[in-house]
Structure 1
Amino acid sequence: MTFARPDPLSALGTPSGIPSWVSSARAEALEDVAFFSGAALSHLHFVLEREEVPLALLRDRLALRAAEACVAHFGRPERAGELRDAVAFLQPGDSPGPAGDIYLSWRRAVERPMSIEALGRALPAFEPGQIAAWFDAGKGLPVTRAVMVLEAVLREVPRADVAGLILADAALAQALGWDHFVPLLAAALKRADLRKQGDDLRLACHRALISSASEAVRQAADLARRAAHLKAVAPKLRAKGAGSAIEMFLTRDAMAPSALPLTDRAARRLCDRLVDLGAVRELTGRDTFRLYGV
């Protein structure tokens, strides 16, 4: 007897998209929580293989979520809207500020396939050799590797939470065979969790992965539907450069009209047209300095 593999994008009977027996688990023992986090990661892995999921866009949106969590860890007030503004309207030579720097680190980390060079671009305060040494600290199963990397970074530089979380997610992704890493740990770990060690930290990371993998699956399903609609309305767009603009919307969380490959007036008209068609959303609620996203 053979069994058909479930369709992760259609398995949305629960709000998370992860099967209810995983997302509603209340296990306490480390081995039990590890089992459920493995099931959640397996489900996410199937979703990331689906061609209809706009992976670059998903990673970029999860990077914003991770950055927002890291900013909150440092007690700063900026949330998603402020982080988008800090980066979207950044001019050459400008500083995005501390919160914007955190967001830029996460965005740069997800943009390119994983390598020490790419991680160094995301974490310019650290030498490539140091990054490589931390990255090589992880051994064993995926979550164990991620925890060991996080511990290695924070043991050497106790306040380097962002670097530790980025490298831990990268180690996890590499162990799972992913070319790009998907931000998962930062959004669901509490600041107090980062001061834990050993089994206590592993337990916190497994729990965080159940939550974050569930959210990633939910967002993947939502973005797959939105991306399909955006592609469906594309033939209705007559503006020169509209095709390139569509591709940009399918890779970035938020876009200012000025960043699109059209004149300012044509870009604004295109964004308004896409909003009217229900293909993108205006994200700021402002009359000026607007941002748009799928």
Structure 2
Amino acid sequence: MSVERLRGGTKKGVYRLGLADGTSGIAYVWHPDEDFWPDAPVDPDSPFQHTTGLELFRQAHDRLSAVGVRAPRVLLREAGGPLGDVAVVEDVRGGTLEELTARDPQRAEGVLAKLGTAVRDMHAHTADPKPHEPLEKLERLEDVVLRQALTNLTASADRVDRLDAVRDRLADRLRTRHADVAPRSRFGLVHGELGPDHVLVDAERDEPVLIDIEGAVFFDVEWEHAFLELRFGPHYRHFANPDLDPARLRLYRLATYLSLVAGPLRLLDGDFPHRAGMLDIVEQNVGRTLAQLGSR
């Protein structure tokens, strides 16, 4: 048997297991030693918690399976073992959608179209808020997003001079956009961090397979769309939805950009090894944040 650590993942270890019969599987390992994120204060009312762990993985896998959206098939789950919590899943060998798009754009178009259908199926699967589940509390989600965005603004402006120079204007922009958002009572199933690097490709069927699913939750679908348009760029047309709430989307765009400044900066306070990539994410999203001052 062979064990190969795979790159990626900031909250869990990901390993390819090669077996004597020539088959392979992927092991997810949740253990403090595999988590690069420094400790942070916990807001019990926030949906933006440290979404990691075997139980969240199980819940997310069940939710996605219920709407026919594919994640790697689970072969084994074990909680509380000597290595921590472990899940072994199928090894989807087609690489990521990000890699396929760079290598074979024409073939990637078919996978993107299927992914667009999967995302629409997820978002159409709605639920009422359930007060016994912190991620789905009766508190208006846009209120929680505003509170977290202001926290991220403070953390980012304290460390980035360009944001510090306009922190009051950004805070006002967040509050103005929040005031434009009307209440909502039903939410769609979202992945939470759906970029082309979090989609594997089944090479035999050219099917998308979602990974890093622990953050899947019922939430405003505009939150997902703010991330989708950022990460998929010109390919966002596969996900575009004319029924989105423009006011909610404006608020969530700015909140997303601030989270992608504050989050990577916090990660870099620890010993995360791939620092250049995180610094690039910070720089890109500082620019996106500042550009929001030029729009309503």
Question: How high is the TM-score relative to the length of structure 1?
Answer: 0.25
Structure 2 length-normalised TM: 0.25
- Greater strand proportion: 2
Higher percent of residues as helix: 1
